Amino acid sequence: LFSASSRIGVHEDGPRRAERVVWSGTIPEDKYVEPLPTALHSKWPGIYSTITSAKKACRKREMFVDGKLASCSTVVYPNDLVERRQRANAGLFEQDHTLRATIPVVYEDEEMAVINKPAGLATHGGTVAESGEGGTPVGKSNGRSVRSLLIHVLKPTTSQEEPLRRPVHVHRLDRPTSGLLVCAKTKPALRGLSESFASRGVKKRYRAVVVGRLEGSGTVDAPLDGAPAVTTWKAVETTRSLKYDWLTTLDLFPATGRTHQLRRHCAYQLGCPILGDTRYGGYGDGGSDEEVGAKLPNASTKSGSGLYLASIELNIDHPTRGGGLHFMIEEPPKFAALRVREQGRYDRLSAEEKAPISPRLLDCEKP
């Protein structure tokens, strides 16, 4: 049996998107009780040429048995009705709207979106432990990442131009880094955005607080991992600190996108590691990962509030409509709070040191 029809799928697992039945068949009466993938392959080898292809359809949540969503472990019986359903129009799988507040959305249309990734949230998962907000170590993502949450954060696309099954991020930010992250909702948008990043057509500005004193501006042109790496920097302001002596707020403009490029350039070439960087924060002028230099005079760059690095500005062309798009967000509140706190502590101590000594205290010191 073969049939094709459209319907709004509603089943025991709850409402689904608009979908259509692209294939259906009935398990013959002479068939033994067996797992669904095995039955699909043995009965309809022209459609499901291997058990693997049948399993793939089940994993995509497309197979139904007597109207119920089936899995690879579903057992079928004689006369069971098996259907394969796919989307009748554009749109994503059902969403958990309680998760929408997890990631702020800066911009969104039918083809792309820009989000503000929180610090401590992995872009694509992974198990590398680094400090997140509050200085707590961040290990395995436990299933929570930008990739897994986007489907709940962004609205389903209504575009008919090759809509993606689920939105995807186009580039990455390190787990402890916060800020602007570009996502695609259709295949044409994904191709266009990926080409923009690959051709260096995307202009980005990061805000960082580094340990040490820098003034003016400059460019670091130092290869990383055998590939060219260029970063332009500009000092925004300097802050005195009892713990770190000097802190400098920098604007960083990466011309390339090497792994940990900004963190490594600040630590190794500028000699001023980014505050809160537990991986590269202990070294100064080194030139390379293999030949890192001596320890900085400061004992530690651990801040207790995570990494002080954020992507705050982005210029990019729209992937399908053309025309430039400009996005800018404020630096995280912890940046200003840090500067006020450190400068305040330094000023208070300086005032105490400069205060005249009371005559009464001088009298007490006389033998």
CA neighbours within 13 Å on the CB side: how many for 32? Answer: 4
- Give which of 291, 321, 328 is closest to 109, Cα–Cα: 321
How far apart CA 268 and CA 295 sit, in angstroms, is 11
The tokens for 11 are 């089943």
Q: What is the CA radius of gyration of the chain?
A: 28
- Give which of 231, 230, 200, 204 is closest to 114, Cα–Cα: 204
CB proximity list for 327: less than 8 A, separation 6 or greater: 106, 107, 114, 180, 313, 314, 315
309-317 and 178-186 as β-strands: parallel, antiparallel, unpaired?
Answer: parallel
Question: Out of 66, 174, 251, 363, which one is annotated catalytic?
Answer: 174
The torsion angle over the Cα atoms of residues 216, 217, 221 and 227, rounded to 10 degrees, is: 130
174 catalytic, yes or no?
yes
Please provide residue 190's backbone torsions phi and psi, each rounded to the nearest 5 degrees: -60, -45
How far apart CA 145 and CA 166 sit, in angstroms, is 14
How far apart CA 247 and CA 210 sit, in angstroms, is 6
81-87 and 75-76 as β-strands: parallel, antiparallel, unpaired?
Answer: unpaired
CA neighbours within 13 Å on the CB side: how many for 227? Answer: 8
* Neighbouring C-beta atoms of residue 180, cutoff 10 Å: 24
Write the burial class of residue 264 (CB in 10 Å: 0-12 exposed, 13-18 middle, 19+ buried): buried
Active site residues: 174
